[in-house]
Structure 1
Amino acid sequence: MVDAVKVLFFKKEAIYATDAAPTGAANAALTRNFTAKPVVVDRIQRNLDRPVRGSSKDGPSNERQTYGYELELAGSGAAGTAPPWMEHLEACGMAAPVLTANTSAVQRFAPIGALLSSATAYHWHGNQKRIGLGGRGTFGWDFTAGQYPFIKLDMTALLPAAGAITDANVGAVAFDQWKDPVEVNTANTDFLLGGFALNLQTFSGEANAAIAAVNLVGANYINRGNHALTCRVVGECPTIGAKDYFTTLRKGDEIPVQLDHGTVAGNIVQFKSDHLQITDIELTENGDTNTLMISITGKLNVGTTPDDLIITAK
């Protein structure tokens, strides 16, 4: 029997697909809703002709693993020090955070030509240990009023030649670097869309990065392709005189969006873009308050630099 207790160790690799040896003391991730497929394969179809009806034996190919999880969004506890979840975002196409001492850690997507990061993951269900190398993935985020904010990651990794799945105890685990988040609410959160303070219910989004396992002679790796950021904003619908998002949709203009969450230095997180383009608007009714709600779907574009999403911890 394998217990359903879940643990993830996650560490950035110095050399692609070379085991970075994450430890429970330094690299344990405080996840929620962790899921995994320890082995995923493609099938080589043989389509053999036989004198009987039925399928023919095929063969497994391009083996890999997938795993997904959520991480709560909080600061590192010290302004100018990157929170641990930024290392996870590096494996999703973002550059290493730029640190300003005692002030901030700023993270953007890696520029064209930059060597993309990868990660080694050790993960357990009970005492069943799995290892993934060269892991890369994509992510999304969610700030919903009355909840803790989080990012959701979906990773794909290669399997090591030996020891991909074994029985092994987790051992000691430390979560000291993971700080407690604060609730998304009026006291802790400020939100602006097009310069207007919309009464926010949810600000969420997805990177939508293309992730593929490449299986060539002489080259086996997880490729992280292009991304196309989309987002969704739900809030109380303002009057047209206060803010006319419908005209913004009709004109195709780009507007800024900024969410600042947290009030204490060391536990403040900001998500920002100057290039939100509204692609759709829906209106619904809030039955509890009898108010009109606006749901705005958009995409976050780039300018001339990787500025479609700028994440700051401060």
Structure 2
Amino acid sequence: MADPIKWRSKIILAKINSDAYGTDPVPTGAANAILMTDVELRPMEGQDVSRNLERPFIGAQQSVPVGVHVVLTGSVELVGSGDTGVAPAWGPLMRMCGVAEVVTPDDAPGDGTVEYTPVSDEHEDGAIYFWIGPTQHKMTGVRGDWEWTHNAQAIPVVRFTLTGLFAAPADATRPTVDLTGFQPPQVATKTNTPTFTLGGVPLVLSQFSFKLGNAVEQRLLIGREAVLINDRNEQIAARVEAVPLTTFNPFAAAFASTEHPLVLEHGTVAGKRIKLEAPHCTVARLSGYEQSQNVLEWPLSLSPQPLAGDDQWTLTLS
């Protein structure tokens, strides 16, 4: 009898496809390994259609699986590659979510950047290989969505939900993985997250989340099987210490639908710094007050608005 398969035996590889949609770019352990936390694989998402047979007796009905696809969820720590002008190892996951990656290498030491912005069309896809024990699951045509969480005294993480076309799992040789591209993170603190401003006003931040809000659809038809990103609705939630209304007035901002630039900077080391800029955020009505340690807090709901298109936010690594 074979030994039991250990739960902590997962291997994840991810690679962008540069060929026709759904082509397998064949990721490798040496070049494409991904370091994730809280990983969940749903290997046969879909529906079960009953055959609904009319028989001269009663009993259970057979069903047929339809619309089968694969969903992988997992989080990566939000930290750069460790070198300016070098894309992070988790970059392919961003690109699978309808986000463009522009790498500007160093001209002078330390001046290179990696920039991520949303795109409306020509979304990239990729492949993900997932092992648990000897069992390999292959996902192709992968596209997805993410949510970034940045809370005080916690590690900033981006949680990806990635959807791909189904292939029958099989036992396969486990690769040797290289995870050296993943750097240790910096916890969100006053020192490590030196800037959070809304409308140019510095605010004390306790909780922050940024939902990309992709509408990810499985279009499984005769003549076409694809995972599509058909819409997007970014939402930012920021829980901040309340301030006098003469400093910042969220009630007036909601009524006037005025746009406020948001800036969040995190990281103190070159190659590990991140900066989010959302220059045209509207403020939703304040649904209520919150408190933490008997300190009044505002739960702000913000919507990054596009101006010319695909310019509602920029994430820069430097």
Which TM bucket (shorter chain)? over 0.9
Which one-letter code corresponds to 1:3 in the other structure? K
Which one-letter code corresponds to 1:89 in the other structure? M
Structure 1, 45-54 or 98-107: larger mean CA deviation: 45-54
Deviations 1:109-145 (A, max 9, x none): 1244xx2111111112222221111111101101111
Q: Aligned pairs, how many?
A: 307
Task: List gaps (5 residues or longer) in structure 2.
Answer: none
Deviations 1:251-301 (A, max 9, x none): 111111110111222111111101211113231122x2x211111012222
Counterpart of 1:89 in 2: which secondary structure? helix
- 1:12-27 correspondence to structure 2 within 5 Å: 12-15=16-19, 16-27=21-32
Which one-letter code corresponds to 1:73 in the other structure? L
Partner of 1:74: 79
CA contact 2:28–2:175 (8 Å) conserved in 1:
no
CA contact 2:29–2:178 (8 Å) conserved in 1:
yes
Task: List gaps (5 residues or longer) in structure 1.
Answer: none
Partner of 2:290: 284
TM-score (norm 2): 0.91
Residues 280 and 85 of structure 1: CA distance in aligned 2, closer, same or farther (over 3 Å): farther
Counterpart of 1:87 in 2: which secondary structure? helix
Counterpart selection for 2:188 from 177, 181, 184:
184
Counterpart of 1:26 in 2: which secondary structure? helix
Shift of 1:98: 4.2
State the alpha-carbon separation in 1 of the partners of residues 289 and 140 from structure 2.
45
Counterpart selection for 1:245 from 240, 250, 268:
250
CA contact 2:98–2:120 (8 Å) conserved in 1:
no
Partner of 1:104: 113
Q: Where in structure 1 do 4 or more consecutive aligned residues deviate above 4 Å?
A: none
- 1:48-197 correspondence to structure 2 within 5 Å: 48-53=53-58, 56-101=61-106, 102-112=111-121, 115-160=122-167, 164-189=168-193, 190-197=195-202
- 1:209-220 correspondence to structure 2 within 5 Å: 209-220=214-225
Counterpart selection for 1:4 from 2, 7, 11:
7
State the alpha-carbon separation in 2 of the partners of residues 260 and 88 from structure 1.
21
CA contact 1:123–1:129 (8 Å) conserved in 2:
yes
Counterpart of 1:250 in 2: which secondary structure? helix
State the alpha-carbon separation in 2 of the partners of residues 18 and 89 from structure 1.
18
Deviations 1:153-178 (A, max 9, x none): 00111123xxx312234231111111
Shift of 1:62: 2.4
Counterpart of 1:302 in 2: which secondary structure? coil
Does residue 224 of the first structure (1) align with residue 229 of the second (2)?
yes
Shift of 1:43: 3.1
State the alpha-carbon separation in 1 of the partners of residues 269 and 147 from structure 2.
25
Which one-letter code corresponds to 1:292 in the other structure? L
CA contact 1:3–1:127 (8 Å) conserved in 2:
no
CA RMSD, 1 decimal = 1.6
TM-score (norm 1): 0.92
State the alpha-carbon separation in 2 of the partners of residues 126 and 271 from structure 1.
38
Shift of 1:86: 2.2
Counterpart of 2:289 in 1: which secondary structure? strand
CA contact 1:2–1:128 (8 Å) conserved in 2:
no
State the alpha-carbon separation in 2 of the partners of residues 64 and 262 from structure 1.
37
CA contact 1:193–1:256 (8 Å) conserved in 2:
yes
Partner of 1:40: 45
State the alpha-carbon separation in 2 of the partners of residues 202 and 179 from structure 1.
23
State the alpha-carbon separation in 1 of the partners of residues 169 and 37 from structure 2.
22
Percent identity at matched positions?
A: 26
Which one-letter code corresponds to 1:110 in the other structure? V
